[in-house]
A and B are shown apart, each in its own frame.
Chain A
Amino acid sequence: MDALLFMIFAAIAVICGINLVVQTHPISSALSLVGVMGALAALYLLLGGEFIAAAQLVVYAGAIMVLFVFVIMLLNAGTEKKMVVRPLGKYLGAPFLLIFFGMIAYMIQRILPASSPVVFGAFQGGTAAEIGRSLFTVYLLPFEVTSVLILIAILGAIVLARKEVD
């Protein structure tokens, strides 16, 4: 059952990911990205990361992507134009891509030990309480530094936007 669900949601994620690149209209691409986020949330849920799954849904699919769609709709972005593909890229692109994927697959196989397959539902530390505890004990410094970083980014955005207005 778990393996079947994994297959379904992994397939949805991959198809939506491909669709994101293939589509020419920004709204279609953005919605494909929402599909990827949703499928990833389901995969997190299968692995036992309940809080991460919910956060993925609330933050990425629910808030950030709505903002994307909002901006695309507000700017009324039209269908993008196809670029002229040079023959060099046309004939060399696909083989190089295959080689690149092969290298990544090889490296992943070398780095990860082959004898520890992923077990669905074996991970127990995915609850909100567990994540909160580790965020405020073990990972306190990285957590706080990240939040300061985000604060700096927000301030930077405001400063840049204000310069534009003046």
Chain B
Amino acid sequence: MNFYLLSLIKTAIVVGIFMHVLAYLQWIERKVIAHVQLRVGPRRVGPHGLLQPLADVIKLVTKEDILPSHVNKVFYFLAPFIAVTFALISISVIPFGPIITVGGVRTAMQLTDLNIGVLFIFGISGLGVYGVALAGWASNNKYALMGGLRSSAQMISYELPMALALSAPLLILNTLSLREIANGQAGFYLGFIPRWSIFQMPFPQIFSFILFLIAGFAETNRVPFDLPEAENELVAGFHVEYASMKFASFFMAEYANMVTVSCVATLLFLGGWHPIFPEKYGSGLIPVAIFAGSALLCFFHAANPARPFDRITLPVFGLLFLGAAGLFLLPPVQFILLPLFWFSAKVLIILFVFIWVRATLPRFRYDQLMRFAWTFMFPVALINLFITALLVALFP
């Protein structure tokens, strides 16, 4: 098929799904935090609040877009644009699955495979900091400026341990292309231990995985490193002067960055779309079991409803889950869905950790944040890199 047509179709699919994921990530975050704090979370709009993202988008689009009189207009408009653009570009090099053949067309489940994929993501995410820094500066407001300054200092500091943590698995896998990185983690030790980077010989990359995740929290300005937008100190930090869609762009950028970090962690450390144990022991049945189990749970709660509404909504969800479970048993779509399932499951688990940490941990102080980066993260990442390099050289 025509390369341009194929690319357009794939882009449409990826962008469509990505935008929905970003919108619903916020719903998931609110629900998870609500349950951690023993609340129910959004449940007014639609069944179980499922239409809440739509309501939020309508609210944000129709809100009055205030332009404060004291801002630097060019950079004030440029900043959210920069932030959201560089946050969304990274998804274009993420592979979601193996190379597949659909209707005689052979294509990769990925928009494009760069042979510098890791460096590309790293460079693009490094440019994203301009959005935050400029927003803080152009707002001409001392709280916003403090937020912008904190953000740039934090991102410069945490990029270093992040790069060092990323280099260690690259030494073992010996490539920069994200597709080859994921393929280099296929297979199993002793028939059941997956060859993911966090288990891979000669030096399991569990430390660099943890370091990467911590640096990822700092790079995406998430709790416990959300000092650029610390509410009780800076009102809202760098986006205090923004309203309406410009404010929404910063939020979109934050969630897109979270998804990117989770995808990179999945690809580099958790083996991408490769299952946790071999197919011959029935790893292909895990999604079926999960969806069927969810369906049964829905039916059980529909039979014993906690709220009158549940009697109608939960059987519908149960049927949907049963349908999903059935899809995973159909051979014509199974080969697409299984890699996608493993990839999304790993990404969602890391995203859940992001939300979980937000719901439980308090915020760092600014000096603690900097000391942690330079006196703990950096040396540990360096030592980890040295040990990995030594072992890779000794046992090639």
Contacts and interface: CB of A to CB of B under 8 A. Distances in A.
A binds B: yes
Interface of A: 27, 31, 34, 38, 41, 50-51, 53-55, 57-58, 61-63, 66-67, 69-70, 73-74, 127-128
Size category, B interface: 20 to 34
Contacts of A74: 149
Contacts, number: 74
A51 B152 CA distance: 25
A57 B123 CA distance: 5
27 contacts: A27-B75, A27-B134, A27-B137, A34-B130, A51-B119, A53-B116, A54-B116, A54-B119, A54-B120, A54-B123, A57-B123, A58-B122, A61-B126, A62-B123, A62-B126, A62-B129, A66-B126, A69-B133, A69-B134, A69-B137, A70-B156, A73-B133, A73-B137, A73-B152, A74-B149, A128-B116, A128-B119
Q: Which 6 A-B pairs have the closest CB atoms?
A: A62-B126, A57-B123, A54-B119, A70-B152, A58-B123, A54-B116
Interface in B114-133: 114-116, 119-120, 122-124, 126-127, 129-130, 133
Given A66-B126, A66-B129, A58 B119 contact: yes
Contacts of B145: 73
A50 B115 contact: yes
Contacts of A27: 75, 134, 137
Majority secondary structure of chain A interface residues (helix, strand, loop or mixed): helix
Contacts of B123: 41, 54, 57-58, 61-62
Contacts of A63: 126, 156, 159
- Most chain B C-beta atoms within 10 Å of own C-beta, residue among A34, A38, A57: A57
Contacts of B124: 57
Contact of A66 (B116, B130, B136, B137): B130
Nearest to A25: B72
A112 B275 CA distance: 56
Contacts of A55: 119
A8 to B, nearest CB: 17
A73 B156 CA distance: 15
Contacts of B152: 66, 69-70, 73
B169 interface: no
Nearest to B176: A128
B127 A61 contact: yes
Interface string B174-189: 0010000000000000
Nearest to B120: A54
Contact of A70 (B115, B127, B153): B153
A128 B136 CA distance: 36
B153 A50 contact: no
B155 interface: yes
B140 to A, nearest CB: 11
Nearest to A64: B156
Contacts of B155: 66
A127 B133 contact: no
A67 B133 contact: no
B87 to A, nearest CB: 14
Contacts of A38: 127
A66 B115 CA distance: 26
Nearest to B133: A69
A129 B130 CA distance: 31
A25 B336 CA distance: 53
Nearest to B114: A50
Contacts of A34: 127, 130
Nearest to A74: B149
Contacts of A128: 115-116, 119, 176
B156 A67 contact: yes
Nearest to B123: A57
A73 B148 contact: yes
Given A63-B159, A73-B145, A73-B148, A57 B133 contact: no
A160 to B, nearest CB: 20
